[in-house]
Structure 1
Amino acid sequence: MVDPAVILEILERIAAVPAGSTVTVPLGPGGHDEATHTLSAWCARTGNELVGIRDGAVTVRRGRAPDPLAGVEDGRLPGTRLWMYTNFDCNLACDYCCARSSPQTARRALGIDRIRRLAAEAVESGVSELILTGGEPFLLPDLDELVAVCTAALPTTLLTNGMLFRGHRLERLRRMDRTRLTLQISLDSTTPEVHDSHRGKGSWERAVAGIRIAQDEGFRVRVAATLPAAQTHELEPFHKYLDSLGIDPVDQVIRALAHRGNADTGIELTVESLVPEVTVTAEGVYWHPIGADDTDQLVTAEIFPLATAIDEVRRRFADQRARADAASQWFPCA
């Protein structure tokens, strides 16, 4: 039996702390199992939470611990989407590439065997969308096979600079499933000068041509722009231009330049400031695709099982939010 004095002390001390805070009280003599049963029942009746009994003391939380993932939009919960870096080499050397990709970058490909397993385990883990990125995926000779593995499992988005839709690469594109695949093509300005200053001479014209080819081939096309943070509010001309290309407003993605990878400037994005997007590369599982070439965002080097990696990202995110909530608790001064 639990000494009634223990209950009285818990009551007195818990009344002086804010909701969500904990108190720890010496338990005194008695059996652990009996104390657990009695205190669990008392907490259930009073709307509090038994955190645990350890080293002769009981810890109780005032009220119930909030769900740290509550309030996160369903579409942004970690593990809703799975990003995969198919490769890191690229036909361009953009001066703000977060993945440090270029023609000289090592390929570091995931490969079809790992992508096949990831796609299958993604379905089992409740993932609703797969996203393939690079590097430039169209440099891969088996890209149509990689995409087929993914679209057979889940709706898939493929990020590309849109510049390589010709010859055998165009034939690979034509073999992809138009009903399950969205192409996301990068375009950073309404004019060639600005876009080309970051991505290379002639890249704007070829990207626009790529958008039109993809549309003519019957694919859904999303256009994504990377702009300096100071310019992200000056969007009306950009949206009007994308409208003129026939890009649906929901498929017009504007993002601020991040200070990652090759970028010398941009907004600072850290694990603490980002809602995670589970991202897999040949090196492991990362917090977010924006930092998939940076060790500070590496979650685990173990890619499989995928469910374990997703659970670890969710656990860390929940702990991070819980710490932030605890840090902002009201402190009773009177």
Structure 2
Amino acid sequence: MKINTKVEVDAGTRTFASGLLPDLIAALRRSRKGDLIAVVGSDPGIGPALEAWCRFTRNSLVDTTVEGGRTRWVVRHGEAPENGGDDRPVGSRLWLYTNFDCNLSCDYCCVRSSPKAPRRALGIERVRRIATEAAELCVSEIFVTGGEPFMLPDIDEIIAACAAAAPTTVLTNGMLFAGRGLATLRSLPRERVTFQISLDSPTPERHDDHRGKGTWARAWKGIEQARAEGFRVRLAATVSTEAEAEEFEGFLDAHHISAENRVIRRIALRGSAAQGIALARADLVPEVTITAEGVFWHPVGAEDEDLLVSRDIFPLAESFAAVRRAFDREFEHQRALARIFNCA
């Protein structure tokens, strides 16, 4: 999907050595923090220089595509919002995408889940091995997500295996807690499992606009159902603006939802989203994420090639080491740039 940008710079055959830099500076002056700028050129050598320029100027290179012999680089003006997990050790949290099919088609889903999406299930056998090895690696939290995990007939076994290894949070839309889903819910250990249920606004309109008519009411019913069964429930809102975030904070305050049981995040310009915050790998503190396709840098881009670390999941220790090595290389590059620009 082509990312829409505020400014387009046609570099032609120019590079940083032959006149591109003034156009980039002019593009920054015509844009605001958070806006996206596209640079289109026929010389692929622009890429490494553009990445270095972004690091020096505290902007971010967020996307690269090639079409018809020309490359299109997308730069975000300014850095991403602060990441709250900067002090969390790499490998302390482990994310599992159990599947990618979903009962909803949310218009901003970062991994393009929907009822039509292929399941791409991780599978109980791999999950059991992952859980066993994660316990040996002293993982402190496991997050089970999708897709909609409760679409899976063996989700009870998957969650139980994860919870035996570490405290486990299940991300869900909360709409399948009936029949088999309710039986699954009741079978899970309350002291080891938390549910994170999506609710995007204080009233149905905005939530339903993103997720489908009637979904707010069904999500709220799921929240109440999980609480009634004795589970800790965390409410998670995905919002477009700071105003929406503040509005939802007020709603949570009114319902006496504690700070540790609320998550408010901005829409990421990944997957199905047509707008949102553009995020590059350099913007994200890594959180080891495993899907049926391999190991990824972060759950926000768990099907995107730029966040793929390795196709090999096992041994899990090597997957964790691969992410740490990539993280070290990222910071070594930043340190090298700093040394290059040391003026005294």
TM superposition score normalised by structure 1 = 0.75
**Counterpart residue identity of residue 234, structure 2:** R
Fraction of identical pairs, as percent: 58
Residue 328 (structure 1) shift: 2.0
Residue 196 (structure 1) shift: 0.4
**Which position in structure 1 is the counterpart of 2:126?**
114
Change (3 A) 1:197 1:324: same
**Which position in structure 2 is the counterpart of 1:198?**
210
**Which position in structure 2 is the counterpart of 1:294?**
304
Change (3 A) 1:237 1:109: same
- On the 8 A contact 2:86/2:285 being kept in 1, the answer is no
Q: Aligned ranges for residues 156-235 of structure 1 at < 5 Å? A: 156-228=168-240, 231-232=241-242, 234-235=244-245
Instruction: Measure, in 2, the Cα distance between the counterparts of 1:207 and 1:162.
Output: 5
Residue 332 (structure 1) shift: 5.6
Note if 1:104 corresponds to 2:119.
no
267, 272, 284: which one pairs with 1:262? 272
Change (3 A) 1:116 1:332: closer
**Counterpart residue identity of residue 145, structure 1:** E
For these two proteins, the number of residue pairs brought into alignment is 261
Change (3 A) 1:123 1:328: same
Structure with larger Rg: 1
- On the 8 A contact 2:238/2:267 being kept in 1, the answer is yes
Instruction: Measure, in 1, the Cα distance between the counterparts of 2:207 and 2:148.
Output: 17
Instruction: Measure, in 1, the Cα distance between the counterparts of 2:135 and 2:146.
Output: 22
**Counterpart residue identity of residue 328, structure 2:** A
Instruction: Measure, in 1, the Cα distance between the counterparts of 2:257 and 2:290.
Output: 29
Structure 1 runs not aligned, ≥5 long: 1-71
Instruction: Measure, in 1, the Cα distance between the counterparts of 2:191 and 2:174.
Output: 19
Give a deviation string over 1:60-94, Cα, whole Å, max 9, x none: xxxxxxxxxxxx96862221101000100000000
- On the 8 A contact 2:295/2:309 being kept in 1, the answer is yes
Give a deviation string over 1:178-233, Cα, whole Å, max 9, x none: 000000000110110100000000000100111111111110001111111xx235
Give a deviation string over 1:116-163, Cα, whole Å, max 9, x none: 000011111221111100000001111111111111111000000011
Query: What SS does structure 1 have at the residue aligned with 2:189?
Result: coil
**Which position in structure 1 is the counterpart of 2:329?**
319
**Counterpart residue identity of residue 326, structure 1:** A
126, 132, 143: which one pairs with 1:131? 143
Residue 309 (structure 1) shift: 0.7
Query: What SS does structure 2 have at the residue aligned with 1:185?
Result: strand
304, 307, 316: which one pairs with 2:314? 304
Instruction: Measure, in 2, the Cα distance between the counterparts of 1:209 and 1:126.
Output: 35
Instruction: Measure, in 2, the Cα distance between the counterparts of 1:325 and 1:163.
Output: 47
Instruction: Measure, in 2, the Cα distance between the counterparts of 1:268 and 1:332.
Output: 30
**Which position in structure 2 is the counterpart of 1:283?**
293
Instruction: Measure, in 2, the Cα distance between the counterparts of 1:332 and 1:162.
Output: 53
**Counterpart residue identity of residue 302, structure 1:** D
**Which position in structure 1 is the counterpart of 2:31?**
none
**Which position in structure 1 is the counterpart of 2:253?**
243
Q: Aligned ranges for residues 36-115 of structure 1 at < 5 Å? A: 76-115=88-127
**Counterpart residue identity of residue 96, structure 2:** M
**Which position in structure 2 is the counterpart of 1:14?**
none
**Counterpart residue identity of residue 189, structure 1:** S
**Counterpart residue identity of residue 320, structure 1:** E
Change (3 A) 1:178 1:330: same
Query: What SS does structure 2 have at the residue aligned with 1:76?
Result: coil
Instruction: Measure, in 2, the Cα distance between the counterparts of 1:332 and 1:199.
Output: 50
Instruction: Measure, in 2, the Cα distance between the counterparts of 1:301 and 1:332.
Output: 38
**Which position in structure 2 is the counterpart of 1:30?**
none
**Which position in structure 1 is the counterpart of 2:157?**
145
Query: What SS does structure 2 have at the residue aligned with 1:92?
Result: coil
TM superposition score normalised by structure 2 = 0.73
**Counterpart residue identity of residue 318, structure 2:** T
Instruction: Measure, in 2, the Cα distance between the counterparts of 1:263 and 1:316.
Output: 27
Query: What SS does structure 2 have at the residue aligned with 1:221?
Result: strand
- On the 8 A contact 1:243/1:249 being kept in 2, the answer is no
Residue 329 (structure 1) shift: 3.0
